Amino acid sequence: MKALLLALGGLSLLVLNFSFTYTEEPLTKVGLGKKLFFDPILSEDRTISCASCHKPEFAFADTLSFSLGVHQRPGERNTPSAMNLAGRLQLFWDGRASSLEMQALEPIANPTEMNLPIAEAVSRLNGDKAYAKAFRKLYKTEVTAAQLGEVLAAYERTLETSNTPYDRYINGDDGAMSAAAVRGRNLFIGKANCANCHSGEDFTADRFKNIGLFDGKTLIDQGRFKIVKDSTYLGHFKVPGLRNVALTAPYMHNGMFKTLREVIQYYNHPDQFIKNGFNRDPSLNTPLNLSEAEMNDLEAFLHALTDDQFLTRNK
């Protein structure tokens, strides 16, 4: 499925080339969405763009625990990667958006992010000659909110990755992953129990889990509960995908872990980090008792989920 998405219409080139030079022909929804993704025109004071927080070189995530919006306002949750979302059924840490079209518009209007009401964003685009012309050519109308969400989502759907050592390994290349990474994969689906939550093609099953990062005292983000108002979801957050995870530090919804090693150590023995996590998933109640060598192997496997494009670019 990923290979098909990357092959359609030459979109693989867009994944690999994050610079954008606007040309009138050919005009596509993907190209227009890409231009807007990198353009600060969609923020209140024209100082930040989507790419300000979703940095391409870090797998479209951020390096801060909480990204800074307009007027340097910190956000409330860690910025997740915008990659590998084409097949996701729920988006954001609390799952409040059910489509990329919905997700794409929320940061624009969010007061602590881009702080531009969608109606004003649409008006601004209609007042810009180049954008107004581009939208009219594609849609035969003036810019609408639905069209803005659609073109941004069209671009985001091209940000799929599948060229990793792991992908080559499961496709029959036994030498694609290091021996440590192969051992780590076995731990991932076995003793470490990672696959209990991180399953499927992108290592997320579109589920919500409470991993113990809510205690009602110092850790007070209620997560999914805020959306569904169901107490069984108090402290639950969406299980993030793990593709390119080695590039997307810091980790967790609050960015509290700075390295992959800290994440592994937490899962190995949660009580050594946070005691009395409310309603923590029962699978985390027993320490994993991973050795240092096993944690090294598990970390090696997680690095094997990094797409080759990032390895090439960062050499």
Strand partners, 276: none
Q: Are 97 and 103 in contact (CB under 8 A)?
A: yes
> 25-52, pLDDT tens digit by residue?
579 999 999 999 999 999 999 999 999 9
236 is in an annotated binding site: no
312: confidence class by pLDDT, cuts 50, 70, 90 = confident
* Start-end of CATH 1.10.760.10 domains in the chain: 2-156, 165-313
Architecture (CATH level 2) of domain 2-156 = Orthogonal Bundle (1.10)
Torsion, CA 246, CA 252, CA 254, CA 256, rounded to 10: -70
> 272-298, pLDDT tens digit by residue?
999 878 989 999 999 999 999 999 999
303 is in an annotated binding site: no
Q: Is 216 or 19 the better-scoring residue by pLDDT?
A: 216
What is the value of pTM for the model shown? 0.89
54 is in an annotated binding site: yes
CATH of 165-313 given 3.50.50.60, 1.10.760.10, 3.40.250.10, 1.20.1440.80: 1.10.760.10
198 is in an annotated binding site: yes
> 221-250, pLDDT tens digit by residue?
999 999 999 999 999 999 999 999 999 999
Backbone angles phi, psi at 152, to 5 degrees: -65, -40
**Of all residues in the chain, what percent carry a pLDDT higher than 90?**
88
